[in-house]
Amino acid sequence: MNLRRSSRDDRGVSVVIGTVLLVGMVTMSMAILGAAVLSTDFVDSPPRADLVYQEDSSGTVAIGLTDVQRLTADGTEIKLEGEGSCGTWDGSGNLEKGDVTTVDGNDCPDDLERGDVLQIIGSETLVDTYELRGRFADHGCEVIDSDDFDDGSTIELDSGDSISCEMTDGGDRLDNGLQIDEGTTLMGEVNVTKTVELTTSGTNEIAGDITTQKGVDVKDGSVVDGTIKATKSVDVFKDSEVSGSIVADEDVLIDQDAIIDGEISLTGSGRSVEVEDATVDGDVHADDNDVTLKGDSGVIKGDVTGETVECKDNSEINGDITANTVNGC
């Protein structure tokens, strides 16, 4: 026998189905509306940018964009923290990746000095800040007796000031040595025939590349913001830092909490690279020379190539090792 469902049952099923369909339609409508809102300017996202900064010896700061969203030139203000406005970004229209503007003391309410903070503000939003390193020269090459250039002597800079001077003869070597002392900063390239030394007296710095036919000594707490190329040995001592790479024909010693941000390349033979309680961020290319790590905090973060590679104490190599003999690594 066939039993027929009552009309009341039919109506109950219809109500349930209708409710489900209604909920589905509302959900879909909300999703479509949400997508439409997010694709328009109803959601006002704040501006953002990735910026890089470069200071030069004249006191000018170049500011560049490596990524940017929702910033315009006339709507982007540079401020000196605590002092006031240095003006808006150079140019007009929307800012794009690769755009650059410059700021100097003439643009700001006060001279730019070490420790000052620049603020980048777009649409009343703080986008970025930068603390000035303060490489603003007090003097130029005039502080060095011109008769001393290229005469075979060692030029000593010990004023404790910042000196902007290219220690090179139009890109060629000067027949000189160089000693930086008493917390002095030299901003410029160094290309000489004799030894370059940054002493233990004060925080001494060379902001530029060093090339010499002799050796380089970077002593306690000193800084080389550039590369080092030496025909003889290179020694980087306690708490010192080299921001670039080191290339040497003879031994390289990195000692006691010193930091090398770049690579080390040993081009001679029968020599060694020694890293003791210090850090090398890049690779070490020693070829047929030996590489030795010592101390509890000695580390090479990159790859190492050498004849014999040895790790003593708790030192370590994070990268790959290519050598005929490997001990303790």
Q: Give 231-252 pLDDT, tens digit per residue.
A: 999 999 999 999 999 999 999 9
Q: Give 15-52 pLDDT, tens digit per residue.
A: 445 554 445 554 555 555 455 444 444 446 889 999 98
CATH domain 48-131 topology: Immunoglobulin-like (2.60.40)
Say what the pTM is: 0.64
Between 226 and 14, the higher pLDDT residue: 226
With CA atoms as reference, report the closest residue to 277 among 238, 327, 235.
238
Is the CB of residue 207 less than 8 Å from the CB of residue 227?
Answer: no
Range 256-260 average pLDDT: 96
First to last CA, the chain: 88
User: Residues 123, 124, 130, 132: is their CA dihedral positive or negative?
Assistant: positive
Report phi then psi at 205, rounded to 5: -145, 145
Q: Give 263-312 pLDDT, tens digit per residue.
A: 999 998 999 999 999 999 999 999 999 999 999 999 999 999 999 999 99
Range 252-258 average pLDDT: 97
Rounded Cα–Cα distance for residues 230 and 1 (Å)? 106
Rounded Cα–Cα distance for residues 161 and 229 (Å)? 25
Instruction: Output the DSSP codes for 258-299.
Output: -EE-S-EEE-SSS-EEEEES-EE-S-EE-TTSEEEEESTT-E
Strand partners, 228: 210, 246
Q: Give 138-173 pLDDT, tens digit per residue.
A: 667 888 888 888 999 999 999 898 898 999 987 889
Read off the pLDDT band of 110 (50, 70, 90).
confident
Range 172-192 average pLDDT: 94
Q: Domain limits of the chain?
A: 48-131, 141-327
Is the CB of residue 173 less than 8 Å from the CB of residue 193?
Answer: yes
Rounded Cα–Cα distance for residues 49 and 29 (Å)? 35
Q: How many CB atoms lie within 10 A of CB 34?
A: 10
Quote the pLDDT of residue 42. 42
Q: Give 73-103 pLDDT, tens digit per residue.
A: 999 999 999 999 999 999 999 999 999 999 9
Q: What share of the chain is helix, strand, coil (3-state, %, to 5)?
A: 10, 40, 45
Rounded Cα–Cα distance for residues 13 and 201 (Å)? 92
Quote the pLDDT of residue 142. 82
Quote the pLDDT of residue 59. 74
Is the CB of residue 65 less than 8 Å from the CB of residue 98?
Answer: yes
Read off the pLDDT band of 105 (50, 70, 90).
confident
Quote the pLDDT of residue 145. 85
Range 176-199 average pLDDT: 95
